[in-house]
Each structure stands twice: as structure tokens, then as C-alpha cells.
């Protein structure tokens, strides 16, 4: 599923103009605690979160997340938006709750990209 489709499905407002909206999103993950995100998200997912600070962007970059949806109508501040633009990471905010967003995306066919514990099988 493309970035633009994900944003559309969760009634999101894109905050980063000029980013590539055709990037492929392979799955979804929801969480408010950044260590939980790092512990169990697979790469190339959308992160749906109720947390709204610059660490969300930095966490996403570390975890190779390709899109952030800030749920519950939380509109990120300029600092967050600017960091995302600088790092070329699309971010959007949605009036919907996290459960609702996850539900809609799942229904639209986007799989969960949450790993069950325990993590990172040796490859």
C-alpha cells in the first residue's frame, strides 16, 4: 500500500509536502512507548501513535519506519514537522483514534508489522 493510500484511509492530513507519496508501506504498527516501537516493529511500516514529540521522528528513522500517522487529532508542532521534512519522512495527522486507524488499515488489507516477542531472529 502506498503512503498516499494509507493517509487517505485514515483521513489524514499530510504535513510534509514534497515527499514521495508512492513509497510502499508494507505493514502497520501502533504504540506510544518508543522502546516498544523499537522492540517490535519491522522495517518499512507505518507507525500509528498518540505520542507527539521529535523523538517519534527520530525513533521512526532508527527503525526504518516509512510513514508516521499521529492519531487522536494531535497535530505535531513545527519542530516535528521540520525535522520530518529535513529527513524526508512523510508524516500526517488524523482525527481518528489509534484503534480506529489500525482497524481501517487492517480492513483495507495492510497487515500487522508488529513482531511477536522475542525479536530479531538471528539471520
Least CB distance from residue 47 to another protein, whole Å?
11
Under the criterion CB under 8 A, does residue 53 sit at the interface with another protein?
yes
Grid cell 500500500 is found at: 1
Asked if 88 interacts with another protein (CB under 8 A), we say: no
> Residues 14, 23, 26, 36: which binds another protein (CB under 8 A)?
36
Return the SS3 of 19: coil
Angstrom distance (rounded) from CA 60 to CA 91: 10
Pick the closer one to another protein by CB: 14 or 61. Answer: 61
d(CA 42, CA 29): 9
Q: Is 95 in the site for another protein (CB under 8 A)?
A: no
Binding test (CB under 8 A) with another protein, winner from 21, 23, 51, 81: 51
> For 16, left (φ over 0), alpha (ψ -120 to 50), or beta?
beta
Q: What is the DSSP letter of 41?
A: B
How many chain residues interact with another protein (CB under 8 A)?
26
Using rule CB under 8 A, residue 120 touches another protein: yes
3-state SS assignment for residue 96 = coil
Residues engaged in binding another protein (CB under 8 A): 32-36, 38-39, 43, 51, 53-56, 58-59, 61-64, 79, 87, 117-120, 123
Amino acid at each position: 500500500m502506498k503512503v498516499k493510500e494509507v493517509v487517505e484511509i485514515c483521513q489524514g492530513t499530510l504535513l510534509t509536502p514534497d515527499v514521495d507519496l508512492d513509497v510502499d508501506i508494507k505493514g502497520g504498527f501502533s504504540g506510544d512507548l518508543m522502546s516498544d516501537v523499537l522492540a517490535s516493529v519491522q522495517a518499512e511500516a507505518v507507525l500509528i501513535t498518540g505520542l507527539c514529540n521529535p523523538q517519534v521522528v527520530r525513533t521512526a528513522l532508527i527503525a526504518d519506519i516509512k510513514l508516521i500517522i499521529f492519531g487522536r487529532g494531535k497535530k505535531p508542532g513545527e519542530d516535528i514537522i521540520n525535522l520530518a521534512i529535513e529527513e524526508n519522512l512523510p508524516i500526517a495527522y488524523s482525527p481518528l483514534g489509534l484503534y480506529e486507524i489500525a482497524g481501517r488499515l487492517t480492513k483495507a488489507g495492510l497487515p500487522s508489522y508488529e513482531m511477536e516477542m522475542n525479536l530479531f531472529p538471528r539471520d
